[in-house]
Amino acid sequence: MNEALAGLASFATLALIKAAPIAFAALGGVLCERSGVVDVALEGQLAAGAFTAVVVSAASGNPLLGLAAGIAAGALLGYALGLAATRFGADQIVAGIGLNVFALGACAFGLVLVFGREGTSDEVHALGNRGEAALILAGFGCAAALHALFYASPWGLRVRACAENPAAVRDAGLDPGRMRRLACTAGGALAGLGGVFLALAELDLYSDGMTAGRGFIALAAVIFGGWTPLGAAAASLVFGALSALQFGLQRSGIPSEAMQALPYLAALAALAGWTGRARAPQADGVPEERRFD
Amino acid sequence: MRAAAWVAVGGLALAGAGATLLAGANPLEAAGALLRGALGGPQQIAETLVQTASLLFPALAVGFALRGGLFNIGADGQAVAGGLVAGLIGAAWPGAGGFALVAALAGGTLAGGAWGALAGVLRARFGGSEVIATLMLNVLAGLLATYLLSGPLRAPGATGPETAALPESVWLPLLMPGTRLSVALPLALALAAALQIVLRRTIYGFELRAAGLAPETARRAGIDLGAIAFSALSLSGAMAGLGGATIVTGVLHRFDPALSPGYGFIGIAVALVGGLEPARIALSAFGFAILQSGSLTLQAFAHVPKDVIVLLEGLAIVALAGRRAFVARATLPP
């Protein structure tokens, strides 16, 4: 009995650890998409957050500075996406893909410059178990806060309006471009925090490819969660549990690839409308200066 | 627009110079090493042309779909699907020679097309974003290949998720002995020429371009946007799948899930630089291939980490995002 409980507890812990970076990135994605900017750059923001956190922690010996720097790096990439999407009227998907490629290339490049070798950084001062637990709690907090912000504050209403009808937001005397840039920056910061969790909480180093498609799983969580903070957080928990289950099922004959595939299949099903209300905001991906009618 | 293009090129050159200085190298020497590595002799030029072919297939795939207002960012997954089927067919009939090679290429084309068609169905039938669908299908292709090759279709003695090495009879014929330059390049160029004709001279090409330029007008003129979305994504996937098949039969001579390392994403840049015109995409692919094949000598001789090229390609894609070559995409009705 106790053994079963202990097993369950360790499974739940592992699931939370696996879910946390996905959840941070997914919440960032929700924030960005609900302002009307399609965020395919989550993968790059995760990598940038992880890499910057490790470099700064290595340089300063203080993981908290690393945490702050990782968040800042994610925010910077988010701002770049927002800027491209609004001021330069760039295609958001192309810009997002470009930022992904750029971030992954820059991290690999920086890794060689800073640590003098390809592949993996040195082990650095990390946040430890207590930091890990605190960040997981913060993840739940972020989901609740974002929900409250979206549905119980004027600011949230305005941001969401930018993704539904930016022209109306402009007519109401607000600047939808500015709102989108702000939302993208904050969303990037959240995704950067997800990267920090990967590098300084779950592990204590950066290695090339460590994000391993989590940014795309997060995007799947955004869609499967119906573009809502609580939905995306719940989807991230499910995906985290699936990921934890892989370790338990290794000897059961169920191929681990099948478990890994489930988040993506869930997102495709949601896209096809099989899970009900998953629909992108009306003007998601539409440059704001164009009338949407 | 011209001025903006020069600013972008100048900015990229500055970024490249900055990155090389950061790595402690002389930018001019680095550029020299890059060019020597890509064009310094027959061997190097042949390798650059190999890269040109590998980039041209996904770039044509992306460009073709984008002309119809559809964004296929899943060329990597389609190449994996195509490469997997080509590798399995090629390894299955070692004695069949030329027939097996043709079957491998055809099978790869069909598999890539099927992978693209999945996104096409989602778009045409359910109105789901093909961007997200192709992105998800990228990962799923890799997982499916890994599963099949480490489980049910595991090659005897294989250590990783690879097919057995292909017998020489199913290798693409070489154009230049002693190099890896195969008929993949003329095949890719022929595809570019065919697409140029399809886009300019056929009714289907006209309908595709109309759907991309003005979907609402096209719909009112009686063009079936759903059919266009399905067919364009399927054909686009088929091109990327053929590309994967040529990498398996012409470059690697076995299937490896990492056969298309980001070619699908770089292909977006290649297609946009080429203005979505197949002939110019071919030129653009050669330009990007110089960067790709020069990056190794850049690292070996100028001691600049080769990922600086990835970094610069990312910046180039961001800069290209500003080009309004595809304004109609976002309003394509579900």
Domain count, chain A: 1
Closest CA to B36 of B286, B293, B284, B311: B293
Binary contact (B140, A261; C-beta < 8 A)? yes
Partners of A6 in the beta sheet? Answer: none
Partners of A120 in the beta sheet? Answer: A207
Contacts of A98 in chain B (CB under 8 A): 269, 314-321
Stretch (H or E) spanning A258: helix A256-271
Residue ranges with strand state E in chain B? none
The answer to whether position A65 is within a domain reads yes
The answer to whether position A93 is within a domain reads yes
Q: What is the pLDDT of residue B24?
A: 86
Please state the ipTM of this predicted complex.
0.88
The C-alpha R_g of chain A, in whole angstroms, comes to 19
N-term to C-term CA, chain B: 32
How far apart are the C-alpha atoms of B100 and B248, rounded to whole Å? 13
The C-alpha R_g of chain B, in whole angstroms, comes to 20
Q: What is the pLDDT of residue B2?
A: 63
Tokens of A146: 């974002």
Tokens of B79: 């190449």
Domains of chain B, start order: 2-331 (1.10.3470)
The answer to whether position A74 is within a domain reads yes
The answer to whether position A281 is within a domain reads no
Q: What is the pLDDT of residue A239?
A: 92
Q: What is the pLDDT of residue B167?
A: 87
Query: Is any Cβ of chain B less than 8 angstroms from the Cβ of A262?
Result: no
Query: Is any Cβ of chain B less than 8 angstroms from the Cβ of A242?
Result: no
Cβ distance B271 to B59 under 8 Å?
yes
Query: Is any Cβ of chain B less than 8 angstroms from the Cβ of A90?
Result: yes
Q: What is the pLDDT of residue B12?
A: 87
Q: What is the pLDDT of residue A289?
A: 56
Residue B297 has pLDDT above 80, yes or no: yes
> What's the rounded mean pLDDT across residues B100-120?
96
Q: B79-89 as b/e, with b when 16 or more CB fall inside 10 Å?
A: bbbbbbbbbbb
Query: Is any Cβ of chain A less than 8 angstroms from the Cβ of B23?
Result: yes
Tokens of B301: 């001789």
Cβ distance A233 to A140 under 8 Å?
yes
Tokens of B224: 């079936």
Query: Is any Cβ of chain A less than 8 angstroms from the Cβ of B318?
Result: yes
> What's the rounded mean pLDDT across residues A139-144?
96
Binary contact (A88, B307; C-beta < 8 A)? no
Contacts of A209 (CB under 8 A, 6+ apart): none
Closest CA to A188 of A163, A156, A218: A218
Burial class (CB in 10 A: 0-12, 13-18, 19+), A251: exposed
Residues spanned by the domain of A218? 2-271
Smallest Cα distance from B39 to chain A, Å: 24
Q: How many helices (H) and strands (E) does chain A have?
A: 11, 0
Res. B333 pLDDT band, cuts 50 70 90: very low
Cβ distance A180 to A35 under 8 Å?
yes
Per-residue pLDDT of A3-62, as tens digits, reads 888 888 888 999 999 999 999 999 999 999 999 999 999 999 999 999 999 999 999 999
Please report, for the domain that includes residue A205, its CATH number: 1.10.3470
Considering only CB atoms, A109 lies closest to which of B122, B143, B311, namely B311
**A with B: how many residue pairs have Cβ under 8 Å apart?**
150
Cβ distance B270 to B284 under 8 Å?
yes
C-alpha pair distances (Å), B256 with each of A2, B87, B110, B164? 45, 9, 19, 10
The answer to whether position A23 is within a domain reads yes
Cβ distance A25 to A215 under 8 Å?
yes
Tokens of B251: 């470059």
Contacts of A104 in chain B (CB under 8 A): 310, 314
C-alpha pair distances (Å), B277 with each of B130, B166, B270, B304, B328? 22, 35, 11, 34, 17
Contacts of A38 in chain B (CB under 8 A): 131
The answer to whether position A280 is within a domain reads no
CB < 8 Å from A in window 254-283 of B: 262, 265-266, 268-269, 272
CA dihedral angle for residue B188, residue B36, residue A104, residue A120, rounded to 10 degrees: 130
Res. B108 pLDDT band, cuts 50 70 90: very high
Query: Is any Cβ of chain A less than 8 angstroms from the Cβ of B128?
Result: yes
How far apart are the C-alpha atoms of B302 and A119, rounded to whole Å? 20
Contacts of B322 in chain A (CB under 8 A): 84, 88-91
Query: Is any Cβ of chain B less than 8 angstroms from the Cβ of A119?
Result: no
Query: Is any Cβ of chain A less than 8 angstroms from the Cβ of B300?
Result: no
Closest CA to A27 of A218, A210, A199, A178: A218
Per-residue pLDDT of B169-200, as tens digits, reads 889 999 988 889 999 999 999 999 999 999 99
Res. B328 pLDDT band, cuts 50 70 90: very low
Q: What is the pLDDT of residue A278?
A: 55
Chain B's closest residue to A288, CA to CA, is: B330
Residue B221 has pLDDT above 70, yes or no: yes
C-alpha pair distances (Å), A160 with each of A59, A142, A259, A288? 40, 17, 34, 13
Tokens of B269: 């840049």
Smallest Cα distance from A133 to chain B, Å: 30
Per-residue pLDDT of B140-169, as tens digits, reads 999 999 999 887 788 777 777 777 788 888
Report the phi/psi class of residue B155: left, alpha or beta, with left for phi > 0 and alpha for psi in -120 to 50. beta
The three-state secondary structure class of B182 is strand
Closest CA to B20 of B301, B292, B222: B301
The answer to whether position A165 is within a domain reads yes
N-term to C-term CA, chain A: 61
CB atoms within 10 A of CB B178: 9
Q: B293-327 as b/e, with b when 16 or more CB fall inside 10 Å?
A: bbbbbbbebbebbbbbbbbbbbbbbbbbbbbebbb
Per-residue pLDDT of B312-326, as tens digits, reads 999 988 888 876 544
